[in-house]
């Protein structure tokens, strides 16, 4: 069957609903999805009955409210459609109440103090803007998954979807306000933030994966000697896809398409065993849901092919880590992408206004944006092997940077690649599409009709980063609109007022622009001179969430209350500390029970072999004794590092623990270069990278 025919077959989409709902119910639900109207409670039972009928036809036996708690993963509690009847048999039941609201036990989810352990009640509430779907269990049926928000008894957000939806509403409000200033006719169209998240990942043979306790427990290799060949030749990037991997990718695409996920691009990434999948653009909320499904299916289908999918941001040291390039834009009420330069002066002026708003947002709230991608895993990636540094900056490219500099001098009148046009008093150039090169080292890069936020980690939900991005852009647009409105109230003409506001915005925030190599020490020094924050660790990054200015930001736009924001700080900081503690414990276990015993066994083998050789030769074997000495010294170094790490784990802070782990790694990796391969207990980097 052609893929176009089964695309979305497991999704209760608007197209599918037409076959199961009355015309009135369909129109009401469509208005909720597309026109932001409140869901009519009166149609809930009909929608639930239709959804149940469709799900049963698809072989589903259970339903679940599918939500995204603060763990960063997804959660689900399955309930059967089956209910006993009065004659000893069973019937299928699913009510509107069950569709709209669920009540999972909330006590064991992280809440950061929003809920006490003994206060277990939590609620899930249907999000009709993200369609229900079926997870198939093959011959064993399937489960109807209903995307929901998750909140506490008093309405506190306990999830990542709720603040994301709130931030989308905040952004939409300010975009509509700007559209009115531009004189755009209000045609009732929605303002839609859109996202295309590129997902990087590694694949290794599952048998090798199961022999690595560090991968099983932490997601990354805590030990591992870099092989002579890894990614230096860059011969894996965009290379021919190996048959085993291609078979996996084919099955992955098939399952994603059945779930309506528009998987578009697949290719080899830079490091051997590293790959990427990218979808086409979708509405932001749905794109985040689909990315969570993509990560789940990556793991599931990899296992079916005898592979393990590694989504950790830095599974292997010394080579590329994995990110999730967050391609963000929005469609205004005119139905057009406002981050596309456009084809006329009116659209061009709106585009430059949004660019200035983004400059203002990223510069003013750089630390908040950095906090949105903070985690123990991402700390290993940021600033290393094609990942952007922790310094937030914007890449615009030569042409657009030149335009912005002209605006800062009082008005842009020419473009390096095009002629001039006139818009009122201002002379603003028409900008060509894709007029910029790409900067792989920039954390926030303009790529022609969108911005690519490259700092999001591969294993992270996109929800946090986009919640922050939507909110800070809403704030910047709010302030720009307010300044323009003030000028208009004073009698100035709109374009004159707008140009003055944009000029001042550029002058105040142009320090955030950088088109060069973000990896260089020279840029770090230049960024420091500019006053740009360089926040390298998660605890330092998260601290901004407790500052009153940040609290006021999220409260003003109705995205997170102070309690909700403080809860995020507590949850994410604890997750960071727990991740490091788990890694330290795993490293100690591996070193004490696997590495040192293997090295000592080799030491014993060497000693016996040297003794035998010298007895035959009748003379010393100095070269062999040097090897034995190196192994013996390596064991002693490892034992000393083990003692240090044990002490740090029991009483030290995260920096000390991380330092002790690195010291232990160095001693273990040195031993790997000495101990015989048949005795070494861990699959080597070369085996994992080239074993598929």
**Residue 266 maps to which CATH number?**
3.30.590.10
Tokens 């427990």 found at: 217
Residue 455's nearest CA partner among 383, 395, 506, 503 is: 383
Residue 49 is predicted with a pLDDT of 95
Within this chain, do residues 325 and 473 fall inside the same structural domain, yes or no? yes
Residue 35 is predicted with a pLDDT of 77
Residue range of the domain that includes 133: 3-157
| Residue 122 in domain | yes
Within this chain, do residues 531 and 584 fall inside the same structural domain, yes or no? no
Q: Count of CB atoms within 10 A of residue 581's CB?
A: 14
Domain count, the chain: 3
| Residue 567 in domain | no
Residue 145's nearest CA partner among 168, 119, 166, 124 is: 124
Within this chain, do residues 106 and 54 fall inside the same structural domain, yes or no? yes
Tell me how many helices (H) and strands (E) the chain has: 24, 17
Residue 411 is predicted with a pLDDT of 63
Residue 141 is predicted with a pLDDT of 82
HSE-CB for 408 with a 13 A CA cutoff: 17
Low-confidence ranges of the chain (pLDDT < 50): 1, 418-428, 431-434
Say how far apart CA 44 and CA 36 lie, in whole Å.
17
Within this chain, do residues 472 and 518 fall inside the same structural domain, yes or no? yes
Please, are residues 518 and 389 in contact by the beta-carbon 8 Å criterion?
yes
Within this chain, do residues 92 and 151 fall inside the same structural domain, yes or no? yes
Tokens (6 digits) for 318: 């010394």
Within this chain, do residues 137 and 192 fall inside the same structural domain, yes or no? no
Q: Among 103, 138, 157, identify where a domain stops.
A: 157
Evaluate the CA torsion angle 455, 456, 459, 465 in order and state its sign: positive
Residue 434's nearest CA partner among 444, 446, 445 is: 446
Residue 118 is predicted with a pLDDT of 61
Residue 426 is predicted with a pLDDT of 47
Q: Quickly list DSSP for 71-101.
A: TSS-B--EEESEEE-TTS-EEE---HHHHHE
Partners of residue 192 on adjacent β-strands: 331
Within this chain, do residues 92 and 230 fall inside the same structural domain, yes or no? no
Within this chain, do residues 591 and 522 fall inside the same structural domain, yes or no? no
Alpha helices in 441-461 (DSSP H): none
Instruction: Tell me the whole-structure pTM to 2 decimals.
Output: 0.93
Say how far apart CA 291 and CA 153 lie, in whole Å.
28
Within this chain, do residues 207 and 81 fall inside the same structural domain, yes or no? no
Q: Supply the DSSP symbol for 453.
A: E
pLDDT, tens digit, 9 for 90 and up, residues 27-40: 999 988 887 777 78
Residue 310: exposed, middle, or buried by beta-carbon count in 10 A (0-12, 13-18, 19+)?
buried
């Amino acid at each position: 069957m052609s893929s176009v025919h089964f695309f979305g077959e497991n999704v209760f989409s608007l197209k599918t609903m037409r076959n199961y709902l009355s015309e009135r119910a369909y129109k009401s639900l469509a208005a909720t999805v597309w026109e932001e109207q409140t869901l009519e409670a009166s149609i809930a039972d009909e929608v639930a009955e239709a959804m149940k009928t469709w799900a049963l036809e698809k072989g589903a036996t259970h339903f679940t409210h599918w939500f995204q708690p603060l763990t960063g993963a997804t959660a689900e509690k399955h309930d059967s459609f089956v209910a006993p009847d009065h004659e000893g048999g069973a019937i299928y039941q699913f009510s509107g109440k069950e569709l709209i609201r669920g009540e999972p036990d909330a006590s064991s989810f992280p809440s950061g103090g929003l809920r006490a352990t003994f206060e277990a009640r939590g609620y899930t509430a249907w999000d009709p803007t993200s369609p229900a779907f079926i997870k198939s269990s093959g011959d064993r049926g399937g489960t109807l998954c209903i995307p929901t928000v998750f909140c506490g008894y008093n309405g506190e957000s306990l999830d990542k979807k709720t603040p994301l939806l709130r931030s989308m509403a905040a952004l939409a409000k300010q975009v509509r306000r700007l559209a009115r200033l531009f004189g755009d006719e209000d045609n009732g169209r929605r303002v839609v933030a859109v996202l295309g998240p590129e997902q990087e990942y590694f694949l290794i043979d599952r048998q090798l994966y199961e022999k690595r306790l560090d991968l099983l427990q932490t997601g990354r290799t805590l030990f591992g000697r870099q092989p002579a060949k890894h990614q230096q030749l860059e011969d894996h990037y965009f290379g021919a896809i190996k048959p085993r991997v291609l078979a996996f990718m084919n099955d992955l695409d098939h399952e994603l398409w059945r779930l309506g996920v528009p998987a578009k691009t697949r290719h080899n990434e830079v490091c051997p065993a590293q790959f990427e999948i990218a979808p086409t653009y979708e509405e932001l909320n749905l794109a985040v849901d689909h990315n969570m499904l993509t990560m789940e299916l990556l793991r599931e289908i990899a296992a079916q092919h005898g592979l393990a999918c590694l989504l950790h941001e830095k599974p292997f040291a010394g080579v590329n880590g994995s990110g999730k390039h967050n391609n963000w834009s929005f469609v205004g009420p005119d139905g057009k992408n406002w981050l596309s330069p456009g084809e006329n002066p009116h659209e061009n002026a709106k585009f430059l206004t949004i660019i200035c708003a983004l400059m203002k947002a990223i510069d003013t709230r750089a630390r908040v944006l950095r906090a949105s991608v903070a985690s123990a895993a991402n700390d290993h990636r940021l600033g290393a092997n094609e990942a952007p540094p922790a310094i937030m900056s914007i890449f615009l490219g030569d042409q657009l940077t030149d335009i912005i500099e002209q605006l800062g001098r009082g008005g842009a009148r020419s473009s390096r690649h095009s002629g001039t046009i006139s818009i009122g008093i201002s002379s603003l150039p028409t900008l060509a599409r894709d007029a910029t090169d790409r900067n792989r080292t920039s954390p926030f890069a303009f790529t022609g009709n969108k911005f690519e936020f490259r700092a999001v980690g591969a294993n992270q939900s996109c929800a946090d980063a986009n919640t922050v991005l939507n909110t800070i852009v809403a704030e910047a647009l709010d302030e720009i609109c307010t300044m323009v409105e003030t000028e208009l109230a004073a009698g100035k003409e709109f374009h004159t007022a707008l140009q003055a506001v944009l000029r001042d915005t550029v002058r105040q925030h142009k320090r955030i622009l950088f088109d060069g190599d973000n990896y260089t020490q020279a840029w770090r020094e230049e960024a420091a001179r500019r006053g740009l924050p360089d926040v390298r660790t998660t605890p330092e990054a998260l601290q901004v969430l407790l500052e009153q200015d940040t609290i006021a930001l999220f409260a003003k736009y109705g995205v997170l209350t102070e309690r909700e924001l403080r809860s995020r700080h507590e949850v994410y900081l604890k997750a960071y500390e727990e991740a490091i503690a788990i890694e330290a414990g795993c490293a100690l276990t591996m070193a004490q029970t696997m590495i040192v015993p293997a090295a000592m066994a080799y030491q014993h083998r060497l000693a016996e072999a040297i003794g035998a050789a010298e007895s035959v030769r009748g003379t010393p074997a100095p070269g062999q004794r040097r090897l034995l000495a190196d192994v013996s010294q390596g064991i002693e170094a490892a034992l000393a590092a083990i003692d240090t790490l044990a002490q740090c784990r029991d009483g030290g802070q995260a920096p000390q623990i991380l330092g002790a782990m690195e010291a232990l790694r160095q001693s273990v990796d040195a031993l790997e270069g000495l101990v015989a391969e048949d005795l070494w207990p861990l699959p080597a980097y070369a085996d994992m990278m080239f074993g598929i």
